[in-house]
Chain A
Amino acid sequence: MNSTISEGLLVVAFRLTFRPVEDEDHLVERMVLSAQNTPRTEGSFYVYPGLLPMGLLPDLFRMEPEGMAERVQAAGSDLKNAYDRLGRALAMRLRSWVLPGSVLVPGETGYRHIAAIFSPEGEKCGEQGQTHAFREEIELEVSSLVTVIPVGGIQVGILLGADPWVPEVSRVMALRGAEILVAPLAPRAPYTAERAVAGLWQEVQQNQVFGCEAGLTGLLFDTMVEGKLGFMGPCEITPGESGFFEGVGYQTIEGPKATRLDPAMLRKAREANPLLRQMNPGLYRRYFPQASWRDGP
């Protein structure tokens, strides 16, 4: 047996269409069913698309409130509790680590966007909030904390919403030890190939980590979303030096895909091309943090 195949973490990611569901049991069944045609290895890591569990509260979106915050506030803690139960149930069914997509939960006055990872025993291992808002996400309350979560001996960072396009977030995660960045996304259409490559793919390249993007598609209530699916790594260790595993470019058909990500490969890439060692911290210390948000004199 080729030892390189059996090492590392088997990661299964999905591109799925958004659908309202009757209850948590139905959603668990749908999510388990979606994984049907992938290798069923216990101790894998399943990554579902962003906002997929929002289908648990279809009534919420039949309301006609003024904004997203009002909608989410109306749901109270229901969705947060349902998300936690969903994650626990799914992880135990799959006997694996699971990131069951992301959800919007009430904030102090607006709403927050969070995702969590659950262990095969059903315990919540860690949670991450979206740290940067798109221009139109006026009521989103962003997080200012980064969590790196151990998954099967590998450190994982979660990027939500706009975060794959903010290099500071991935840099913090990578320098704090993240080896895989996962992005459960529900990006608005049109989500072009260029827009996608400018996001997680870039963060994977400039931090020499693995990346996994899972995307929601279809009509998310009143917004068309167009997520993609892809596994990424530094160009030097991927087929055709494309920066992608399991096929060049992003997958745009519905379904799951699985690949094994081995940190030993990352170490090889970093030895061959020691990008982080060539950083210039003395320069950065003179200008950061202000350089991150100041736009000209």
Chain B
Amino acid sequence: MSAASVILRTSLWMKSRRGPLVRAMGAGRKISRPDPRVGVVRVAAVQMPFSFYRTGEAFARDVSRLARRAAEGGAELVVFPEDLGTMLLGLLPRFERIEALGSFDEALAALGDGVRVADVVELASPATLRIYRTVLSEVARSLGLLVQGGSIMVSTRDGRTFNQADLFGPKGRLLTTQRKCHLLPVEAEWGLAPGDDLDVVSTPLGMVAEPICMDATYFETFRILRSKGAEIVCLPKADPEPVENPWKSLRGLWPRVQESPMYGVAAAMVGGAMGLSFSGHAEVLAPLELTADGTGILARSEEEGEDVVLADLDMDALRAIRQDPAIRPNPAFVQAYFPGIYQGFWRGGAQR
């Protein structure tokens, strides 16, 4: 590692100290919240405009404010959007100059030939991950919430970079880290690697999973999660579409919770920066038969900017429909074709 890199990392590390972050959150302030109902889990999905943070304290204030809003609404689980931690790349020195270049590609080019997002993340992520985890853990602990922390790009010691999500318990403990298993083509170009497993965590609220955005494009993700018992799927997302198309928005989480009955809590990154645009809405989804109007939507933000949407999940009703599925499985059929059907697509095989 070059001397410049060491100086840069040290400088960032200094910005990630716990004390100022916790003080910025004002964690000691009491909140009033409604009592939980037996058999019902109230969840919150955050919708948040993308912007690069220049300080960890500003990040801590925003995350804390949104989580507090969820808690005051009675939520026991709050879900943040994909790339929540990516916004901490704004801590990089002279980031305002990079941002002024206008596009991600131009910014990377300005940093040097062949520099990829993964290279930038490798430098920054020891500090950004520290801030991210300090803030989310403290939010979870101080509010007594289950907190799904959106996602953050992180480099590992073996040089790989992942888009990963953390889930914190109500005492602030890190319960699990989930790596994104299905990348957007642009993420592959950025040098990110896909995760290779999916986790489901037993919590007092139910069995919880946290795949990330594109993972919901593939039914296989949700079949695996269901087989591991998932009942509530938190989905941090940042759809890279300048304008939301209502039909395209029916292609991710909504069909997945129909195919593999479970609840889906989607938090959306909106807005954009440096040529990146995100669209979509925070929403809470359910199997059609568990929504009064048959739409599969329990709650959906009507705002274009920041918002927190709340919905109640009837866990007993979900368990009842899973006991008696509308379509009977056919193990002989699946055994005849799976997993061999993927053979031609093994490790990026050509699409037919």
Within 8 A of A (CB), among B178-224: 181-185, 188, 194-198, 207, 214, 217-220, 223-224
Residue from the list A137, A202, A293, A296 in contact with B331, Cβ < 8 A:
A293
Q: Does B336 contact A (CB under 8 A)?
A: yes
Complex contacts, B346 vs chain A, CB 8 Å:
281-282
| B120-137 at interface with A (beta carbon < 8 Å) | none
Mask for B308-346, Cβ within 8 A of A = 1, else 0? Answer: 000000000000001011111111111111110111111
Residues in B neighbouring A282, C-beta threshold 8 A:
196, 346-347
Given contacts A195-B288, A297-B228, contact A284 B339 (CB under 8 A): yes
Contact with A296, one of B207, B255, B332 (Cβ below 8 angstroms): B207
**Inter-subunit contact A132/B327 (CB<8 Å):** yes
Interface residues of B in 249-264 (CB under 8 A from A): 250-251, 254-255, 258-259
Chain A residues whose CB sits within 8 angstroms of the CB of B227 once the complex forms = 287, 290-291, 294-296
Docked complex Cα distance between A213 and B330 (Å)? 23
Q: Which residues does chain B contribute within 8 Å of A166, judged by CB atoms?
A: 259, 327
Q: Does B112 contact A (CB under 8 A)?
A: no
- Nearest-neighbour CB distance to chain A for B262, whole angstroms, equals 10
**Interchain CA distance A106-B315 in the complex, whole Å:** 41
Cβ of B5 under 8 Å from chain A: no
A251 touches B (CB below 8 Å) = no
Given contacts A289-B335, A289-B338, A291-B223, contact A279 B218 (CB under 8 A): yes
Task: Provide the bound-state CA to CA distance between A280 and B187, in Å.
Answer: 14
Q: Least Cβ distance of B240 to chain A in Å?
A: 11
A260-297 contacts to B (CB < 8 Å): 270, 273-297
Bound-state CA distance A269–B352 (Å) is 13
Q: From A136, which residue of chain B is reached at the shortest CB distance?
A: B326
Q: Is A171 an interface residue (CB 8 A)?
A: yes
**Residue in A132, A202, A280 whose CB lies within 8 Å of B333:** A132
A279 to chain B, nearest CB (A): 6
Which residues of B have CB within 8 Å of A154? none
Q: Does A40 contact B (CB under 8 A)?
A: no
User: Which of A206, A280, A281, A290 sits near B219, CB closer than 8 Å?
Assistant: A206
Closest partner residue, chain B, to A176 (CB atom) = B341
Residues of chain B contacted by A278 (CB below 8 angstroms): 182-185, 188, 214, 217
Give the contacting residue for A292; candidates B198, B334, B344; CB below 8 A: B334
Residues A167 and B327 in contact, CB atoms below 8 Å apart: no
Contacts A176-B341, A291-B220 known; A132 to B228 CB distance under 8 Å? no
B351 at the binding interface (Cβ < 8 Å) = yes
Interface core residue of A131, A192, A243, A289 (most chain B CB under 10 Å): A289
**Nearest CB in chain B: distance from A187 CB, A:** 12
B330 touches A288 (CB 8 A): no
Set of chain A residues within 8 Å of B258, measured between Cβ atoms: 165, 198, 202
Beta-carbon contact of A194 and B224 below 8 Å: no
| C-alpha spacing A137/B327, complex, angstroms | 9
- Are A171 and B341 in contact, with the CB atoms below 8 A? yes
B94 CB within 8 Å of chain A: no
Residues of B within 8 A of A35 (CB): none
Q: Is the CB of A280 within 8 A of B327?
A: no
* A168: interface (CB < 8 Å): yes
A133: interface (CB < 8 Å): yes
Decide: A175 and B329 in contact? CB cutoff 8 A. no
A60 within 8 A of B: no
Residues on A with C-beta less than 8 A from B326 are: 134-135, 162, 165
Alpha-carbon distance A194/B247, docked complex (angstroms): 12
Smallest CB gap from A207: residue in B: B219
Is B296 in contact with chain A by the CB < 8 A criterion?
yes
Given contacts A144-B336, A288-B338, contact A241 B247 (CB under 8 A): yes
A146 at interface (Cβ–Cβ under 8 A)?
A: yes
Other-chain contact of A274, B185, B251, B288, B329 (Cβ < 8 Å):
B185
Find the A residue at minimum CB distance from B220: A284
Given known contacts A146-B337, A292-B334, A281 and B224 CB-to-CB distance under 8 angstroms: no
**Distance of A168 Cα from B273 Cα, bound (Å):** 38
Asked if residues A295 and B322 are in contact (CB atoms below 8 Å), the reply is: yes
Chain B residues whose C-beta falls within 8 Å of the C-beta of A169 in the assembled complex: 333
How far is the CB of A255 from the nearest CB of chain B, in Å? 24
CB pair A289–B339 under 8 Å, yes or no, is yes
**Residues of chain A within 8 A of B254, CB atoms compared:** 198
Distance (whole angstroms) from the CB of A69 to the closest CB of chain B: 16
Tell me if A75 is interfacial: C-beta within 8 Å of chain B: no
The 10 closest A-B pairs by CB, nearest first: A293-B329, A296-B229, A167-B219, A281-B342, A288-B338, A289-B334, A294-B227, A289-B338, A291-B227, A292-B334
8 contacts between A and B (CB under 8 A): A135-B324, A167-B259, A198-B254, A202-B258, A206-B251, A279-B220, A281-B349, A291-B223
**A residues within 8 Å of B by Cβ?**
131-135, 137, 142-146, 162, 165-169, 171-172, 175-177, 192, 194-195, 197-198, 201-202, 205-206, 235, 240-243, 270, 273-297
